[in-house]
Amino acid sequence: MAEPVRQSAPRLNTANDVEWLTSREPVPYEAAIEAMDARVAAILAGRAPETIWLLEHPPLYTAGTSAAPEELLDPPRFPVFKTGRGGRFTYHGPGQRLAYVMLDLSRRGRDVRAFVRALEDWLMATLGRLGVEGERREGQIGVFVGEAKIASIGIRVRHWVSFHGVSLNVDPDLEHFAGIVPCGLNAPLTSLAALGIDTDMQRVDGALRSAFEETLGPLSANWSQAS
| 221: pLDDT strictly greater than 50 | no
- Is 100 annotated in the active site? no
> Which phi and psi angles does 207 have, rounded to 5°?
-65, -40
Residue of 85, 87, 155 whose CA lies nearest to 118: 155
What's the Cα-to-Cα distance from 179 to each of 79, 87, 128, 214, rounded to whole Å? 11, 17, 30, 36
Burial letters 81-116, b for 16+ CB under 10 A, else e: eebebbbbbbbbbebbbbbbbbbbbeebbebeebbb
Provide the pLDDT confidence category of residue 222 given band limits of 50, 70 and 90: very low
Give the global pTM: 0.88
What percentage of the chain exceeds 70 in pLDDT? 89
Q: What is the mean pLDDT of the chain?
A: 88
For the chain, what are the domain ranges? 5-219
CATH tag for 5-219 (out of 3.90.1310.10, 3.90.850.10, 3.30.930.10, 3.30.465.10): 3.30.930.10
Average pLDDT over residues 15-34: 90
Which range is least confidently modeled, 22-36, 161-175, 203-217?
203-217
Lowest mean pLDDT among 3-7, 71-75, 205-209: 3-7
pLDDT of 167 above 90:
yes
Q: Which of 153, 180, 183, 216 is catalytic?
A: 183
The string of pLDDT tens digits covering residues 139-149 is 899 999 999 99
Calculate what percentage of the chain has a pLDDT beyond 90.
71
Q: What is the pLDDT at residue 4?
A: 59
Is the pLDDT reported for residue 20 higher than 90? yes
How confident is residue 17, by pLDDT bands cut at 50, 70 and 90? confident
DSSP string, 58-105: SSEEEE-TT--GGGB--TTSS-EEE-SSSSSEEEE-TTEEEEEEE-BG
**pLDDT, tens digit, for every residue of 112-130?**
999 999 999 999 999 999 9
